[in-house]
Amino acid sequence: MNIAFIGCGKLGMPCAEELAKAGHKVTGYDVAKVKSNFVEIMPTIETTVKDAQIVFVAVPTPHDSAYDGRAPTAHLDPKDFNYNIVKDVLIEANACMYPSQMLVLISTVLPGTVRRELEPLVTCTSSLLTKSLIN
């Protein structure tokens, strides 16, 4: 298959490389300079997703610094992750994808986020799956 990754960091790159080693043609895009012997790194989201049957999104969803595990948080109000990067990427990918292509979000999001905030941004493809399918 032709597979694309947007976000080639600690999660995205190893997944992309394993799929490439398994024989799939894998393209990748990242705002940082990344290198791979297995994944073809592309200059834009548009060129990365072109011809891909599946597009994985593995960009950061940062948490507030008070929730980084250094100190207990039980006394703090619950605070959601920041989804701005995911939203920007979904909007850009949506603009250059077709209904036959599957978009798969593997960034971490809290339950309910996809239905509430992310799925409405994806109008061109029929699928926005997450690693937790009930999100």
Binding characters for ligand NAD, 6-45, by CB under 6 A (x = yes): xxxxxxx----------------xxxx-------------
Distance CA 75, CA 53 (A): 45
- The DSSP output letter for 132 is S
- Where helices occur in 1-135 by DSSP H, the ranges are 12-21, 45-49, 84-95, 113
Site membership for ligand NAD, residue 95 (CB under 6 A): no
Site membership for ligand NAD, residue 60 (CB under 6 A): yes
**Closer residue to ligand NAD in complex, CB, 75/110:** 110
Site membership for ligand NAD, residue 135 (CB under 6 A): no
